[in-house]
Structure 1
Amino acid sequence: MPDPQNPIEAAGLVAREIRSGERGGAATKVLVARRRYRADQADVWDALTSAERLPRWFLPVAGDLEVGGRYQFDGNAGGLVERCDAPDSLAVTWEFGGQVSWLEVNLSKAEGGTVLELVHEAPVDPEMWRQYGPGAVGIGWDGSLYGLGVYLETGTPLDGAEFEAWMTGPGGIEFARATGGDWAKAAVAAGDDPAAADAALEAVVAFYTVAPPEEPEA
């Protein structure tokens, strides 16, 4: 069995799917990722919804983590908690950079653990999709699913800065290519042109693995 603590092997634990959707009369893209964790459903649910535990594998969160409340992840998305059916399902708006999308997470018991299904639906600019494909969003979620797995397996918080630095090295490039490649295959299965999906894969791997410019010294 793949090692869930090895990023490259953990990439193979995720099943990926792309669907077409519609919200308010506008076309959307729906990215679906599923992974089984070797943890009880109650533990996975708590790791997903506890303000104390979320920073250990994702990001610090502030706000009202109740239905109708608003949340904000540090330096990332915020939104409205639309639904929370513990310990099975939650739905929130995902608001970032002036764009609104919708995130749903479903949990179900499985042999030896819990299956997590992440569903992210968003209106997508066709040109942005042509340039970067589903990996623009999907690779980021893959990193989060990996971080959750390490935390659930070991109980040790993931060092986000360390993982970001790793992403710009050989291992990170391999991880981005593995996860991005599977998202590209899902796009082709959903009807995208294979050559366009391959070109988008190269662009999105470069996007995720280029180190940010260093801050100038004061």
Structure 2
Amino acid sequence: MTFVDDLNQAHRELLDGTRKTVTLRRHYDAEVDDVWQACTDGDRLSRWFLPVSGDLKLGGKYQLEGNAGGEILRCEPPSLLRVSWLYGPDPGFSEVEVRLSAKDGGTLFELIHTAEVPPEFWSQFGPGAVGVGWDLSLLGLGLHLRGGEKPDDADFIHTEEGRDFVFASARAWGEVYEAAGATPEQAAAIVAANTAFYTSEEGEGS
């Protein structure tokens, strides 16, 4: 299975209101307890996502290296984790929730990211701004659960496989954006903006 095949295992949704909500849902061939530990244990998080510091328990504060930080708002092992997801000097409202449930001998994984997004940023990048990043993260989680190693994002996106993955992810989020009410022209514009942002290239993928 190629990385793009892995990408296509996920279902994506967008709720385009005052607050924007993106949802990714996919199945992993791993037990719920294993996926839960991979998402909540600091050592395992660093192996497929990012190094994390802080007090990793309900009410504790966390910080991802070079990325978001916040507070652990809900923690109900092994099925529900919700955190505030704050990045930058004036982040506004942003929360991420992960839900896990047993299904078909493995785990149904759901990630829901709800945020207030500045209109000018949303009109330029739409849901792909966070969506492509989450797709890369879920790829890393899947590789980790299968005993593999996460590729370094900075190197991966400049390989042929990595570019194909980013192009396919950006297109998938463009389709989601259009399904939520954007025009084809708006969807095409955010696909181009996101592929350029993540790969520093102008291109249509392959």
Q: Same fold (TM over 0.5)?
A: yes
Amino acid at match of 2:7: A
Give, in whole Å, the separation in 1 of the partners of 2:192 and 2:161. 16
Partner of 2:44: 53
The superposition leaves residues 124-165 of structure 1 with CA deviations (integer Å, 9 ceiling, x where unpaired) of 1222111112111100000000000001012x33242xx321
| Paired residue secondary structure (2:24) | strand
Structure 2 distance, partners of 1:69, 1:199, is 39
Once superposed, what is the RMSD of the aligned Cα atoms?
Answer: 1.3
Q: Which residue of 1 aligns with 2:82?
A: 91
Give the C-alpha shift of residue 197 in structure 1: 0.8
Q: Note the 1:156-167 alignment, pairs <5 A.
A: 156-160=148-152, 163-167=153-157
Structure 2 CA distance, aligned partners of 1:15 and 1:169? 25
Residue 168 of structure 1 is matched in structure 2 by: 158
The match for 1:13 is 9
Q: Where in structure 2 are the equivalents of 1:116-155 lying within 5 Å?
A: 116-154=109-147
Map of 2:61 onto structure 1: 70
Match of 1:79 in 2: 70
- Structure 1 residue matching 2:13: 3-state secondary structure: strand
Give the whole-Å Cα distance in 2 for the aligned partners of 1:9 and 1:146: 10
The runs of 5 or more residues in structure 1 that have no matched partner are 22-26, 212-218
1:162-201 per-residue CA deviation (whole Å, 9 max, x = no partner) reads: x321202332221111111111111111111111111110
* Shift in alpha-carbon separation, 1:186–1:159, aligned structure 2, 3 A: closer
Runs of 4+ aligned residues of structure 1 deviating over 3 Å after TM superposition are none
Q: Do the aligned residues in 2 keep the contact of 1:168 with 1:210 (CA within 8 Å)?
A: no
**Structure 1 residues 82-125: Cα deviation after superposition (integer angstroms, max 9, x where no partner):** 00010000100001113141100000111031011000011112
- TM-score computed with the length of structure 1 as normaliser: 0.87
Q: How far apart are 1:39 and its partner, in Å?
A: 0.2
For 2:158 and 2:200, locate their aligned partners in 1 and report how far apart those are by CA, in whole Å. 6
Structure 2: state its 5+ residue gaps: 202-206
Amino acid aligned to 1:184: G
What amino acid maps onto 1:11 in structure 2? L
SS in structure 2 of the partner of residue 157 of structure 1: coil
CA deviations 1:42-74 (Å, max 9, x no partner) are: 000000000121111011111001111100111
Q: Partner of 2:204 in structure 1?
A: none
Across the two proteins, how many residue pairs are aligned to each other? 199
Q: Distance in 2 between matches of 1:186 and 1:159?
A: 26
Task: Please tell me the residue identity of whatever aligns with 2:16.
Answer: S
C-alpha distance in 1 between matches for 2:3 and 2:120 = 30
Asked if the contact 1:168–1:208 (Cα under 8 Å) also holds between the matched residues in 2, the reply is no
1:175 partner letter = F
2:194 to 201, 204, 218: 204
